Amino acid sequence: MPASLDIHKSALLARQTELIARLVALEHRLDAPQTPDWDDLAIAREDDEVLEATGLSGQHELRQIEAALERIDHGTYGICARCGAAIGDDRLNALPYTPVCRTCAT
Ligand SMILES: [Zn+2]
């Protein structure tokens, strides 16, 4: 395994742990009992929508990270899923879970 692959894998695992912790914390907040005050309830409901949107984007990123970790296991990580070219290390450093190269992403 090349050294850079190791670095990307650690970054993916660290991000995965962080996202799971955040999603678990979000679920606890969404399940928390509502305050009986009506004004607060309206605000709490808006908060919930924001929290749910955050949760959805987190779950989406989590799925991309899981897919990237599978590609590492299968030896296809860092290869563009669309054109088969190698994805640059600078792009993988910025977006370790990306399945496509810079050209295909634009
Ligand atoms: Zn490509």
102 CA distance to ligand 1 middle (Å): 7
56 CA distance to ligand 1 middle (Å): 27
What Å distances lie between residue 10 and 74, 85, 105, CA to CA?
17, 23, 24
Q: Using the predicted structure, report yes or no on whether residue 98 has a pLDDT greater than 60.
A: yes
Half-sphere exposure of 84 (CA within 13 A, CB side): 0
User: What digits encode the pLDDT tens for the residues 24-50?
Assistant: 988 888 777 766 666 666 777 777 888
What Å distances lie between residue 68 and 23, 27, 37, 45, 52, CA to CA?
19, 25, 45, 35, 24
Average pLDDT over residues 43-71: 88
103 CA distance to ligand 1 middle (Å): 6
Higher pLDDT, residue 105 or 33: 105
79 CA distance to ligand 1 middle (Å): 8
Mean pLDDT of the chain: 88
21 CA distance to ligand 1 middle (Å): 32
